[in-house]
Structure 1
Amino acid sequence: MLFNQPIPVLMHPNGIPLSSPQCRSAHHAVRDTLDVVGGKWKLVILAVLRERKYRFKELSRAIGISPSILSKELQELEMNQLVKRTVYNTTPLTVEYERTPYSNTLEEVLEAMRTWGNLHHETIVGRKRVAA
C-alpha cells in the first residue's frame, strides 16, 4: 500500500531536516537579505560605489540606469543605511552618494557574486570575461 508509507523527511546536506526551526530561520534570513539588496540594481550600485563617491548623474551614467529607477534604489539603500547622501549648497545643488561603513558588511556577498559571475560567464560563454 503506497498510502501507508511514511513521508520521507527532506534533509539539508548538513543533516538538519529542512522543516526544522534552524532551516526556517535560515530561510527567513535569506528573505530578509533579499528584501534589502534584492532586485536588478542595488548590489550593482554598491559595487560601483566601492570605487569612490559619485554624483547622481555620474552614477546614473556609470551604471546605465535611468534617473527615476536610480533615485528609488538609492532611497531604499539610504533607508537601510547602506548609502550616505550628501547635499552640498552649491549652485546648482551638488548631491554625492557613497557607501556607509555598514555597507562593508556586504563585502563578502559582493566578492562571492563577482567570483560566481565570472565562473558562470566562463561556463556558459566558454571563455573568461575580458576586463573592460
Structure 2
Amino acid sequence: MNKDVFKYSDCPVYRSMSILGTRWKPIVIYMLRDHKARFGQLHASIGTISKKVLTDTLKELEADGILFREEFKEMPPRVEYTLTHKGKTLIPIIIQLARWDNEHYEAKQVEKTA
C-alpha cells in the first residue's frame, strides 16, 4: 500500500504511523535521542539491522523532517545524523513505549517462572 494513503488521511494515528510505522524508525530515533551519530555508529548500536534498511530508514526519516543529515566536506568524508526539533518531540512518546514494554515484559517473565 502506498504510504501517501496514510499521510493524507484525516486520522491522526494513520498520519503518525506513516512516519513511525516501521520496525526500525522508533529504534533509530531512540538511539539519536541525546546525541548525534554517524552511520557506522548507528549500525553498530542497533546491530541487527542491515545497512540497506538503515540507509532507507535514515532517508525516510530525513524526508519526513525527523532527522537532519549533516555532510562534512573533509577527507575522508563523514556524515552525522541528529534529531530535528520535530524529531525530539517524539522522544517522550518513545520513552513511554519503552516504559510500557519494561512493565509488561517483567510481568510476562514473572508469569513464565510461576
Distance of 1:110 and 1:59 partners within structure 2 = 17
- Alpha-carbon shift at residue 66 of structure 1 (Å): 1.4
Q: Deviations over 1:23-52 (max 9, x none)?
A: xx5xx1111111101111000000010131
Q: 1:62 aligns with which of 45, 54, 68?
A: 45
Relative contact order: is structure 1 or structure 2 higher (C-alpha 8 Å, sep ≥ 6)? 2
1:1-132 pair list within 5 angstroms = 28-64=11-47, 65-126=49-110
CA drift of 1:120 comes to 1.6
How far off is 1:108 after superposition? 2.7
Unaligned runs of 5+ residues in structure 1 are: 1-24, 128-132
Report the structure, 1 or 2, having the larger helix content.
2
- Verify the 8 A CA contact 2:71 2:78 in the aligned structure 1: yes
Aligned partners of 2:38, 2:26: CA distance in 1, in Å? 18
- Give the superposition deviation at 1:84: 0.3
- RMSD in angstroms over aligned alpha carbons? 1.4
Structure 1 position 117, deviation (Å):
0.9
Gaps of 5+ in 2: 1-9
Q: How many residues align?
A: 101
Alignment TM-score, normalising by the size of structure 2:
0.82
Aligned AA (2:77): L
Structure 1 CA distance for aligned equivalents of residues 53 and 33 of structure 2 = 20
Partner in structure 2 of residue 14 of structure 1 = none
Moved over 2 A (4+): none
- Asked if 1 retains the 8 angstrom alpha-carbon contact of 2:33 and 2:88, the reply is no
